[in-house]
Each structure stands twice: as C-alpha cells, then as structure tokens.
Chain A
Amino acid sequence: MIAAATAATRPHYGGTLRVMLQSAPDALELPANATPVDYWDMARTLSLVGDTLVKLDARGDPRPALAVAWQSDNNARHWLFTLRPGVKFHDFSAASPAAIAQILGTLHSNWSVQASAGSVSIESETPMPSLLAELALPRNLLLKQDANHVPIGTGLFLVAQWQPAKLLKLAANEDSWAGRPFVDAIEIEFAKSFRDQAIALELDKTDVIEVSPQAAGGSSPHGTSSSSLSLPVELLALVFSANSKAQDPRLREALALTVDRKPIQSVLLKGAGETAASVLPNWMTGYSAVFSAPANPQRAHAVLAEARQPAPHLSYGLAYDPRDPQAQLVAERIALNAREVGITVQVSLSGAEDIRLVRVVLPSPDPATSLDEAARQLGLPQPVFSTPGGGTSLDDLYQAEHSLLAGHAVIPLFHLPVASAASARVRDWVPSRLGAWNEAGPSLADVWLADRPEVLRQDSRAYSFPPVGSR
C-alpha cells in the first residue's frame, strides 16, 4: 500500500486533487508524434475524461469499459462489441452505438464500423488479432469535441476550465457509469518542470506530480509524499538517421558493442530501468535475455576492423532531447565509450545528427502492439510477422523483433519506467503499473483526500511490481 492510513480515517467525498505535469499542450488531444512526456501527460489527462471500449490490465488481459462484451470470428477480421447501456457523454447525449461507431469510424478510416442495437461491429480486410489492445490505447479514447475543441467524454471527470498550456480544471462526473469519484475536482497545472513539481509537492502546493525514475522509489525524507515506479514502459535507444554517415552495419554493431550499459543504468539512471538489447522489455515478452547487451570493446575493435574504415577525424553527431534531464549525460557516456574503440561521437543538441538518443513509449502491455508502435516511433519498418495477422505467438514476436534489429538501425539501451509521486493527503492512490492513471483496476475514482496530511512510515516503499514473466 502506498500509505497506511490510520484505521480511523475513512474515505470520503470532496476536495480538489491538485496535479502538476511537465508538458505544455496547446490542445486537449493526443499528438500524432508525441514525445514520451507529452504522450503520458495527455494520455493520463484524457483518460480522466474519456473511456475506451475496453481496457487492458497489467497482464494485458482485456477488461470491460464502455463495451461489456465482445466476440470475433476465427480470422479476427470481424468484431462485435456489446456496449454498456445507459452511458451518457458529459453533454448528456447518449453514448449510443451510432455515436460510438461514428467516433471509431473517424479514428480508423480503414475499418468498417457499424452500429446496431446495443452493439458496434468492426470489420477489416486484414486480421486484427490485437484489436482489443489497440482499442485500449489512449488514442482510441471515445471522445467528442465541442465548438471550442474541448473534449467531451464519458469518463470520471468532465472539463470545467481549460487554459491551453497552463491549466485544466476537471469536475467530477456525477453521472459516471463507473460511479462518482471521491474528489470533487482535479486541477492540473501544466508546464511544470520536475524541480518545480518536487518543490510544490514538498511545500504541499500540489498533490500528484511526475518524477524522474531516478528520483522515484520510496517516500520523501520527511514522509510527506511517496513515489511509485511503473513497469518499464519506455525504450531508450540509439537510432541512426536515414542520412547518417554511419551507414555501415558493422560500424553500427561496433558502436552497439562499445556501450557499457551497466554503469549508465547504475550511476546515471540510479538503478532505474533495465539494460536492454531488445525493443520490448522482458516483462512483456520473457525472451529479452536472448538479445545480448554487455559491452565488449574487444569484439567492437574486431568488428570495426572489418568495417569500412571511417575517414580520419570523422565525427558522428549524437543528438539528444534537451528536455530529458538524463539524456545529455547518457549521450556523453555513450560518446566516451565509443571513443575507447576509436569511434568519434560528438554530442550535440543540434547540427548534423547521425545518431539520435531517443525515448519511445511502449504504450501497451500487448507486445505486438507495443512493437508496432515502437517501430513507428523509431522510424523503422513496421514489423513483419510470419503468421498473417500474427503477433500472437512468441516465435512470431521474436522473429519480428529480431528482424527489426538485424541491421543495427536501432541500438536498444534501456527499458525505463515512468514514475509519479503523491502527497500524503492523497489516499488510495494506486498508480498504474503501465504508467497510466486510469487503467483497468484501481483508478482515480478510488482516490480520496484526507483532511490533513499524515506522515507516512519511513520504511514504506512504493509499489513494486513483480515480474510479469512470459505470457
């Protein structure tokens, strides 16, 4: 438990949950090519307003949301979803099959979405074995927009006030199908750095913040807050640009062999995350150990000797996201490692970049969906599964991922969690192990605010999720 509330304290309604986030969105919608920070912030925000047809739990198993039941044909090309009855949007319009079908049809033009009595059917020319995982993604939240492009959903909260890039006030949805949340409102302040958020939390000016994974883990020194880490849901990797000077796969392989991930993980990331040589984390697939990750300078030298010799004093530019506080150090360490074998890597914020240090979101516990999404974010070809509409078997998944990594166009480095922290007045706060705030299982609907903060036990720890293991 995040906090051991005293027995005398009972959940009660009321209060405003104050939240701070890093991103500064201009619109309440999920950008197509969002950075991880923007993705998580907007996904978390919108998931308070809207619902998906289904949700996935931490194991990736589907759970009912707006749809209470579903079925498909054998080829997974035709799906039928039975909708929850009596659900209304925040504008009091009914979340009817027609309305739902219209939203889904707008989101996926390649689908054939049909409404029928109490249900919605989805049909595609290709098999869609991962449709449930897809529908559970934040981008498939069933939202309408008013004239001011403010989202109107069926979620726990409705938009009360929206100041782009600055403030969002959400009010409790009294008619929520999931029941009224304990808190009356949620006030989200945007564009707050980690440091500002941490200070605000320490000064009791906010209740829930984001924290860097390195800073997460356990309660604050004074026991006024606690933080939690998700499962590794992000991939930190090196990606070679299309016009990179490093086109030789052996050079790329040599660079991959020079990166000593352990010191970076233990020192710079302060133990957060896992070293990675695969796109998908081990908790998602169970086979990531097959992809070897240890640094091997000797082997790197040998591979480099086989590679086409780079021109003397040829330097490869390594760009990183300046908004990522650890990215620069990680990039510099990689450059330092590369220098050991004679590969000159120049770390820079801009300029001619040959390599990018990128962080991508693995948005779904479904490995095929996450692999597909990671390939899209990394600019790699979409994974090809040997089984049509595959991704359902481990072999298919492994082969697809192996093919994706074969040319060393991407060098996976770390799988990283996301983290958040809450003050002691926030009770029954159970952040999702997948990084979201309102997924299947405990949700913000269960959060309530204590009248006064209570000091947490010093030995309390954040949620630590056991390895999921192979699915």
Chain B
Amino acid sequence: MSFRKKLLLLFAATVLLCVAVISASVYSTIRRSFEQANQDRANAIAAQFRSEFQRRGLGVTRKVESIAASETVQRVALDMNRGTTDPGEYVGEARTLASQQQLDFLELVDYRGTILSSAQWQAKFGYPEATIPRATIAQATTAADTLPAGAFLKREELPDGATLGLFAVRVARVGEQPLYVIGGERLDQGFLSTLDIPVGTRVLLYQNLDVKWDPKSLFDLNGSAAGADRIAPLVAKVRDTLQESQGVIHWTSDPGDTEVFHAIPLTGPIVNATNPGATDQGAANQNGANQQLMGVLLVGSSRRPLIELERQIVSTAMLVGSVGILVAVLASLWFAARVTRPVVSLAEAARRVAAGDLGAKVEVESSDELGELAAAFNRMTEDLVQQKDRTLQAERVAAWRELARRLAHELKNPLFPLQVTVENLIRAKQKSPEMFEEVFHEGTATLLAEINNLKTIIGRFSEFSRMPQPQRQPTQVNDVVRAVLRVFDAQLQQAQLQDKDKKQISVRTELDQALPEISADPDLLHRALQNLVLNAIDAMPQGGELAIRTESLGDRIEVSVSDTGSGLTQEECGRLFTPYYTTKKHGTGLGLAIVQSVVSDHGGKISVESTKEKGTTFRIELPCNPLTGWS
C-alpha cells in the first residue's frame, strides 16, 4: 500500500471517528431530551387524569347533592321518618332519579344502612349497603360529618359482576333519621374517552376487583386491552407497592412498537365489605388514611415518535457523516497529495537514477525535512554524475591503453622480423656482398610477408571501425545457422584427419522448425554466428560438444551457441564484449565486439552464461520485427 493511501486511510478514519463521536453525542443528548419529554408528557397526562378525576368527582358530588335535595328523595326521607316506608313504592325510584341525573349508580339507603332502592341492581333492596360506615349508622345525628366530603372510588357489585365507580354520598335529612343517597359513575371506557389524550399516547384502566390478575379487568378506549398479560407485571408491582411505577413493553421486535407505561394507583376508602382485590399493602396510602387499591391507571406512551426521530437523526448523521467522509477523503487526497508530492518526486527521480538517468533532479519546494531530502538527493545525483564521468574517463584511458597495448603487441611482432631482416640485409651488404643477392631475396620475401601481416592487422581494425548497417530482408535464422555449420563442417573433419589423437568436437543442433522469419541481414547474422562458433571451437581444444539451438519466443527468437570448454570467470564474462579484449593468445578481441555490434544493430541483445570447467553459452535474442526490439 502506498504512502499516499495509508495517509488517506488515516485521515478518513480520523474523520469518521470524529463524525461518529459527534453523532453519538448528539444522539445521546437528543434521546435523553426526548425521554425527559416523554416522562413529562406522561406526568402531564397523569396530572390531567387527576384533574379530570377531581372534576368528575365534583360533578358526581353535585349530582348526588341535587338528588338528595330532590322532592322525591325528600318524600322518601319523610316517609322513612314517619315509619310509613313502603319499599315496593320506592324500588324503581333510584333508577328514575339516576336516569334524570345521568348517573350510572344510585342507591337510596335508610338510616340503618339498608338499601331502599338501587338503580344499578334494583333487586338489591333490603340488603345492607357497605359504603355507609357502621360508626356513621350508629351516630345518625352526625352522619353527614363522618361521611366522605368528596368523591371516592368504590367497587360496586352488579348482577353481571363487579365494576369500579366514582361515587359520592350525601345525606337527605328531613327528620332525625338520615336518608343516604349514594350515587356514582362508572369508571370505564366512557370515562377514559373523556380524557384528552395526546397523539401517540393511550390510557388503560385496570379495575382491581379480584385478588388475582384478571385480564378482562384491563381495558382501554376500545374495550378489552390486547396483550393484557404483558402489562400484568407492571400492575402487580403497583398492587404490591401502591406506588407509581413505570415499565417498558416491547410489543414486537420493532423498536417503534415499544410503549412506556406509567402506572398510577387509584385508591379508595376501605368499606365494610372488603374489596377482594385490596392488598395488605394497600391498607394505607401516603396520606395515612385507610385506603385500598381500587384500580390502576396506565398511561402508555408509544416510543415510535422517539424511535422515528432517532432514525431520522441517525439517517441525518449518516448523511452528514458520509458527506463529511467524502469531503474528508477529498481533503485527504489533496493533503496527502500535497504531502507526498515531494516524496513521489524523489521516488520517481530515484527510479530514473536507477534506470541510468543520472541527470534526474528533484524540485526543492520547501525548506522542511522533505526539502532537505530533495536537496540531498540532488547533491547525490550530482555526485553520481561526477563519479560516472570520472569512471568513464578512466575507462576511456584504460581502453586507449588497451588499444595501445594491443596495437603495440600486434605491431611489435611483425616489426621485429622486419628489423632483423633489414639488419641482415645491411650486414650481408657490408660483410658478405656475394651472399647479398641471396640474402636480399630471402629478406625481401620476409619483408613482404610481414608487411602483409601488418596490412592484415590494420585491415581488421579498419574493418571493425567500418561495420556496415544491416540490409534487412526476411531471413530464416535456421538457414543461417545451417550455412555457418556448413562452413565449419569441413574444418572440423579436416582437423580430425590431421590429428588422430585430437578429440572430436561433436555438433548438436536443436532448431525450432516453427521458427518464424525475421527481418534481418543474413550476412551479418552469418558473420556473428560464425564468430561465436569459432570461439566455441577455440574454447574446446580438447574436443567437446558444440550445440546450437534456435527457439521461437513469440515476437522474438533465440539462438544459443554452447560449448563444453573450460568456461570463463565472472570477470571475463563482464569484459567479454569489450573491444580488443580477448582471452586467446592470438585473438584481436574484436570478434565478440563485432557480434555484439551486429546483434545491437538488429535490435537484439546478447548474453553469456558460463560455468567454470563446464562450458559457456551465448544467447542471442532477436526481435522478429526489429522496430519492436529492445531499446
């Protein structure tokens, strides 16, 4: 991974982390705020319910007061005080009065606590009414003082079961004996429907009518509440503690279907007939009065708005985060590019230097560490150039020395016979004129021979300096190889005949029959291969195997010439293609230089592999089309 990518990833991760931290912080803050708002809303609804409860209680109280003051009740009270009470006459009165005042419950109870008339259960006449405390009955003259002044919750038995009601009791007193009027309204769906419930909130009421949990006693505006058993633990907690409680119910796996319930205990006075649903803990409330749990109001607040808002926040955060990350990536790209540009320039310059371009320079744009690094690189390349120039100069000197040495060597051999011959001629002229003629003939022959020898040497050098440009034509390299081998075939056989003891050099050819034609100069190739074969033969004075292979390499061909001679050292291999360098006693050092020149002119390359005492292999690679050859 590049430095720029690493830098980019680092920047992006940093930005992402920052966005995540900020989003989480905002989300947490908003969530706390909404939960607080939710709590406040539930508290408001609870307060509203209490207010509604008081208002309805006041309404019930007024209705009961109105009934107690009615002519009908006054007449019943008068009859009762006169002792002329006829229950049969009053049995339907309560229902009529309750209907007039739109009360669900109404009972007329005589001074002994016996029901004279009941609206909700007409057949209940003659039965004792438990709402009137026994102490109150015993002190009939002060009955009104001992009765609840306001409305209260009470369990009411009905023919089809018990229910919960909001009651008030008033006394109609005509004579000494009080007539109690107990009226009330059902605490049911109708009551819940009067509450102004905010959207997303619902109110349920559990009538605590039985010791055991009864799901049928839990209802909301629409009737029996679905999933009542899920709410049972919360109700049970309130029943146990008589304190407000809160619970969260997950209706489904969807978090939006979660509801937070606030359970509010509804208490009422303990009457003579105890409420089966009342608990011991409910015997006293926080006010210290004897109270029992009559019901539980459950304010359910859906978390869907909160969840949806949370989702919206998360979506927004993700959008902002994504944009932020995108911006951060772009900024990181710009920043990373800015930061890494000198480094990239340095790397590019280093690659150029590695490729041989010692003139590569890095622009120094800053004075920081990277600027110093670039300046140091530039100084290094300048040093390298100077070093190369010095080396080149030294190599040139060495080459000239080698050339001078070679020339001296080559020229010295013929010159010495020339000198001796001329001296012999002079000596013969002076000391033996009679033999001068004979010596002259011999001397001139020698002189001519050596002069020819010098011409040959000079011709070689001249030839090397005048290497012709390739005349390209479609050439089958296999044919060139075969032609070269034919040239040496006679030589190898003649050498065998002259020296029976000389070990034979065998020739092995592996020519690729599918070798394509290439564009090349067959004569130059012939000359190059001839040099290589000659070298191979020279390298195997003790005989061996000469192997020539051709092979197609796609858009190239390869020709290899191998011998099994004594091989070359690494240093020899390195200097092998240097002109005038030779490992032979009588070599000019131009053979392989010519081969390299020919190969180079054909866009190819030549390499050598050699193992000491194993042999040497020269490989020539030539492009089929020299225009696509190696640079």
Please give the residue numbers on chain A whose beta carbons come within 8 Å of chain B beta carbons, in ascending order: 263, 266-271, 329-330, 332-333, 335-336, 346-347
- A330 CB contacts on chain B under 8 angstroms: 123
- B122 CB contacts on chain A under 8 angstroms: 329, 332
B91 contacts A336, C-beta separation under 8 Å: no
B159 contacts A268, C-beta separation under 8 Å: no
Q: How far is the CB of A317 from chain B (nearest CB, A)?
A: 12
B88 contacts A332, C-beta separation under 8 Å: no
Of A267, A269, A271, A332, which one neighbours B159 at CB under 8 angstroms? A332
Residue of B nearest to A264 (CB): B123
- Which of B37-45, B124-132, B534-542 forms contacts with chain A? B124-132
A329 contacts B123, C-beta separation under 8 Å: yes
A268 contacts B121, C-beta separation under 8 Å: no
B88 contacts A268, C-beta separation under 8 Å: yes
Q: How far is the CB of A346 from chain B (nearest CB, A)?
A: 7
Of A268, A269, A270, which one neighbours B123 at CB under 8 angstroms? A268
Q: How far is the CB of A259 from chain B (nearest CB, A)?
A: 12
Q: How far is the CB of A171 from chain B (nearest CB, A)?
A: 42
Residue of A nearest to B91 (CB): A267
Q: Kindly state the separation between the CA atoms of A347 and B160 in the bound complex, as whole angstroms.
A: 8
Q: How far is the CB of B79 from chain A (nearest CB, A)?
A: 14
Q: Kindly state the separation between the CA atoms of A263 and B86 in the bound complex, as whole angstroms.
A: 11
B127 contacts A336, C-beta separation under 8 Å: yes
- A270 CB contacts on chain B under 8 angstroms: 88
Residue of A nearest to B124 (CB): A336
A347 contacts B87, C-beta separation under 8 Å: no
A–B Cβ pairs within 8 angstroms, 13 of them: A266-B87, A267-B88, A270-B88, A329-B122, A329-B123, A330-B123, A332-B121, A333-B123, A335-B159, A346-B159, A346-B160, A347-B159, A347-B160
The secondary structure that dominates the A interface is helix
Q: How far is the CB of A427 from chain B (nearest CB, A)?
A: 32
Q: How far is the CB of B90 from chain A (nearest CB, A)?
A: 9
Q: How far is the CB of A270 from chain B (nearest CB, A)?
A: 5
A267 with B160: in contact, given A332-B121, A332-B122 (CB under 8 Å)? no
A263 contacts B126, C-beta separation under 8 Å: yes
Residue of B nearest to A347 (CB): B159
Q: Kindly state the separation between the CA atoms of A332 and B123 in the bound complex, as whole angstroms.
A: 6
A267 with B121: in contact, given A332-B159, A335-B159, A347-B159 (CB under 8 Å)? no
Residue of A nearest to B90 (CB): A267
The secondary structure that dominates the B interface is loop
- A346 CB contacts on chain B under 8 angstroms: 159-160
Q: Kindly state the separation between the CA atoms of A51 and B88 in the bound complex, as whole angstroms.
A: 41
- A329 CB contacts on chain B under 8 angstroms: 91, 122-123
- B160 CB contacts on chain A under 8 angstroms: 346-347
- A332 CB contacts on chain B under 8 angstroms: 121-123, 159
- Per-residue A-contact encoding for B79-91, CB less than 8 Å = 1, 0 else: 0000000011001
Bin the interface of chain B by size. Answer: 10 to 19
A271 with B121: in contact, given A336-B127, A347-B159 (CB under 8 Å)? no
Q: Which residues of B419-477 are within 8 A (CB) of A? A: none
Q: Kindly state the separation between the CA atoms of A270 and B127 in the bound complex, as whole angstroms.
A: 18
- Per-residue A-contact encoding for B98-129, CB less than 8 Å = 1, 0 else: 00000000000000000000000111111100
Q: Kindly state the separation between the CA atoms of A406 and B459 in the bound complex, as whole angstroms.
A: 162
Q: How far is the CB of A269 from chain B (nearest CB, A)?
A: 8
Q: Other CB < 8 Å A-B pairs besides A267-B91, A267-B125, A336-B127, 15 of them? A: A263-B126, A266-B87, A266-B88, A267-B88, A268-B88, A268-B91, A268-B123, A271-B88, A329-B122, A332-B159, A333-B123, A336-B123, A336-B159, A346-B159, A347-B160
- B88 CB contacts on chain A under 8 angstroms: 266-271
- B123 CB contacts on chain A under 8 angstroms: 268, 329-330, 332-333, 335-336
Q: Kindly state the separation between the CA atoms of A330 and B127 in the bound complex, as whole angstroms.
A: 15
Residue of B nearest to A268 (CB): B91
A336 with B87: in contact, given A346-B160, A347-B159 (CB under 8 Å)? no
Q: Kindly state the separation between the CA atoms of A253 and B121 in the bound complex, as whole angstroms.
A: 25
Q: Of B88, B121, B122, B160, which is in contact with the most chain A CB atoms at under 10 Å from its CB?
A: B88
Q: Kindly state the separation between the CA atoms of A263 and B124 in the bound complex, as whole angstroms.
A: 10
- B126 CB contacts on chain A under 8 angstroms: 263, 267
Q: How far is the CB of A320 from chain B (nearest CB, A)?
A: 12
- A267 CB contacts on chain B under 8 angstroms: 87-88, 91, 125-126
Residue of B nearest to A336 (CB): B123
- A271 CB contacts on chain B under 8 angstroms: 88
Q: Kindly state the separation between the CA atoms of A184 and B161 in the bound complex, as whole angstroms.
A: 57
Q: Kindly state the separation between the CA atoms of A271 and B86 in the bound complex, as whole angstroms.
A: 11
Q: How far is the CB of A417 from chain B (nearest CB, A)?
A: 16
Q: Which residues of B221-269 are within 8 A (CB) of A? A: none
Q: Kindly state the separation between the CA atoms of A268 and B89 in the bound complex, as whole angstroms.
A: 9
Q: Kindly state the separation between the CA atoms of A270 and B159 in the bound complex, as whole angstroms.
A: 22
B159 contacts A263, C-beta separation under 8 Å: no
Q: Which residues of B45-97 are within 8 A (CB) of A? A: 87-88, 91
A263 contacts B87, C-beta separation under 8 Å: yes
Residue of A nearest to B117 (CB): A267
- B159 CB contacts on chain A under 8 angstroms: 332, 335-336, 346-347
Q: Kindly state the separation between the CA atoms of A269 and B89 in the bound complex, as whole angstroms.
A: 10
Residue of B nearest to A332 (CB): B123
- A335 CB contacts on chain B under 8 angstroms: 123, 159
Q: Kindly state the separation between the CA atoms of A332 and B124 in the bound complex, as whole angstroms.
A: 8
- A333 CB contacts on chain B under 8 angstroms: 123
3 tightest Cβ-Cβ pairs between the two chains A and B:
A333-B123, A332-B123, A267-B88
Residue of A nearest to B89 (CB): A270
Q: How far is the CB of B127 from chain A (nearest CB, A)?
A: 7
Q: Kindly state the separation between the CA atoms of A270 and B86 in the bound complex, as whole angstroms.
A: 9
Residue of B nearest to A340 (CB): B127
Q: Kindly state the separation between the CA atoms of A230 and B124 in the bound complex, as whole angstroms.
A: 29
Residue of B nearest to A330 (CB): B123
Q: How far is the CB of A260 from chain B (nearest CB, A)?
A: 8
Q: How far is the CB of A273 from chain B (nearest CB, A)?
A: 13
- A347 CB contacts on chain B under 8 angstroms: 159-160
Q: How far is the CB of A353 from chain B (nearest CB, A)?
A: 15
Q: Kindly state the separation between the CA atoms of A268 and B121 in the bound complex, as whole angstroms.
A: 13
- B121 CB contacts on chain A under 8 angstroms: 332, 336
- A266 CB contacts on chain B under 8 angstroms: 87-88
- B91 CB contacts on chain A under 8 angstroms: 267-268, 329
Q: How far is the CB of B223 from chain A (nearest CB, A)?
A: 20
Q: How far is the CB of A349 from chain B (nearest CB, A)?
A: 12
Q: Kindly state the separation between the CA atoms of A246 and B118 in the bound complex, as whole angstroms.
A: 30
Residue of A nearest to B122 (CB): A329
Q: Kindly state the separation between the CA atoms of A189 and B179 in the bound complex, as whole angstroms.
A: 45
Q: Kindly state the separation between the CA atoms of A266 and B126 in the bound complex, as whole angstroms.
A: 11
Q: Kindly state the separation between the CA atoms of A266 and B371 in the bound complex, as whole angstroms.
A: 121
Q: How far is the CB of B57 from chain A (nearest CB, A)?
A: 29
Q: Of A263, A267, A333, which is in contact with the most chain B CB atoms at under 10 Å from its CB?
A: A267
Q: Kindly state the separation between the CA atoms of A336 and B160 in the bound complex, as whole angstroms.
A: 11
Residue of B nearest to A270 (CB): B88
Q: Kindly state the separation between the CA atoms of A330 and B125 in the bound complex, as whole angstroms.
A: 12
Q: Kindly state the separation between the CA atoms of A336 and B127 in the bound complex, as whole angstroms.
A: 9
Q: How far is the CB of A261 from chain B (nearest CB, A)?
A: 12
Residue of B nearest to A335 (CB): B159
Q: Kindly state the separation between the CA atoms of A318 and B535 in the bound complex, as whole angstroms.
A: 133
Q: Kindly state the separation between the CA atoms of A267 and B159 in the bound complex, as whole angstroms.
A: 18
- A336 CB contacts on chain B under 8 angstroms: 121, 123-124, 127, 159
Q: Kindly state the separation between the CA atoms of A347 and B158 in the bound complex, as whole angstroms.
A: 11
Q: Of B91, B123, B124, B159, which is in contact with the most chain A CB atoms at under 10 Å from its CB?
A: B123
Q: Kindly state the separation between the CA atoms of A266 and B122 in the bound complex, as whole angstroms.
A: 14
Q: How far is the CB of A392 from chain B (nearest CB, A)?
A: 40
Q: How far is the CB of B171 from chain A (nearest CB, A)?
A: 23
